[in-house]
Structure 1
Amino acid sequence: MTIQTADLCDANEGRVRIVTPMFRSYGGRKAFGGVITTLKVFEDNSLVRSALESPGEGRVLVVDGGGSLRCALVGDQLAVLGVNNGWAGVIVYGCIRDSKAIGTMDLGVLALATHPLKSIKKGVGDRDLAVSFGGVTFTPGHFVYADEDGVIVAEQALM
């Protein structure tokens, strides 16, 4: 499946929402998309681990980390779980770490920045609720597509 967000925008004018440009691509898979699964956490990646340990089935995990730049929510060990369990990608409104290793993996990974500090692990957060950042609401069951040009969201599959 070839994903080109510019072409998807052109072909689906008025049916897609465009995320404000803010993300850097860190994963080895530069273009990815799929059904949205969401998490809302703050400086605690326990739920990120549990999600990536479950079957991804080509979905994209959207993590609303509150935009925190104080620690990482995804590292190489969690990215390996994502690859092994069939996730298409992870979008983190926050930071990741181990970017060099993640860059070699067949997983789409977008984040605001990198940070060497790991997060706390208290199991605090919410799963499968609508989260909003970048001028867009990410709703579980809707679709997200990402490539070098940006990130778009649609209520229905565009492919």
Structure 2
Amino acid sequence: MLLTADLYDERGEELQSVSLQFQDLGGRARFTGPIRTVTCFQDNALVKSVLSTPGDGAVLVVDGGGSLETALMGDMIADLAVQNGWAGVVINGAIRDRVAIGTMQLGVKALGSNPRKSSKAGVGVTDAVVEFGGVTFTPGRTVFCDEDGILVER
């Protein structure tokens, strides 16, 4: 995988650059794949449900509304992602169990961490277009992540 800075230099306006400053919290800082999405707020039931299915190298982009009040993924859900072949997860919100997740072969970018678990009502939407950080995440398009940030195909 090309580094995001080099990729942007090469492809420029074909790519969108996320302006939010995400933390690298997984065991892999560099990951790429087709986008799948979940929109939810302080409720991680859909995140768990989607990551329990075959990922085939995809990246799950979770729009949690930027909330840091509860974690949308912990080590057990991250382990499901690894077992099911997901390349990574980008969470516009928080995770928990960051030490354990940091040892897993999974790319994880999130705004931060909070030990408080989320609700499990299943409220939210899957595979819809989501927007945050000045970028539109369209299911099926490719996302590129590394230590410098996140790029998304237009």
**Do these two structures clear the TM 0.5 threshold for a shared fold by scoring above it?**
yes
Separation (CA, whole Å) in 1 of partners of 2:56 and 2:89? 13
Residue 121 of structure 1 corresponds to which residue in structure 2?
120
Query: Is the CA contact 1:56–1:87 (under 8 Å) kept in the aligned structure 2?
Result: yes
| TM superposition score normalised by structure 1 | 0.95
**Does residue 42 in structure 1 map to residue 37 in structure 2?**
no
State the SS of the aligned residue for 1:17.
Answer: strand
Equivalences for residues 73-112 of structure 1 within 5 A: 73-112=72-111
Query: Is the CA contact 1:3–1:33 (under 8 Å) kept in the aligned structure 2?
Result: no
Separation (CA, whole Å) in 1 of partners of 2:75 and 2:97? 5
Q: How much does 1:13 deviate?
A: 1.3
Equivalences for residues 1-159 of structure 1 within 5 A: 2-155=1-154
Q: How much does 1:82 deviate?
A: 0.4
State the SS of the aligned residue for 1:72.
Answer: coil
Q: How much does 1:3 deviate?
A: 3.7
Residue 24 of structure 1 aligns with an amino acid whose one-letter code is Q
Residue 54 of structure 1 aligns with an amino acid whose one-letter code is T
Q: How much does 1:14 deviate?
A: 1.1
Q: How much does 1:21 deviate?
A: 3.6
Q: How many residues align?
A: 154
Deviating beyond 4 angstroms after TM superposition, the runs of 4 or more aligned structure 1 residues are: none
State the SS of the aligned residue for 2:78.
Answer: helix
Query: Is the CA contact 1:41–1:65 (under 8 Å) kept in the aligned structure 2?
Result: yes
Query: Is the CA contact 1:3–1:32 (under 8 Å) kept in the aligned structure 2?
Result: no
Query: Is the CA contact 1:3–1:31 (under 8 Å) kept in the aligned structure 2?
Result: no
The gaps in structure 2 that reach 5 residues or longer are none
Query: Is the CA contact 1:130–1:137 (under 8 Å) kept in the aligned structure 2?
Result: yes
| TM superposition score normalised by structure 2 | 0.98
Separation (CA, whole Å) in 1 of partners of 2:111 and 2:103? 19
Q: How much does 1:109 deviate?
A: 0.3
Percent identity between the two aligned chains:
55
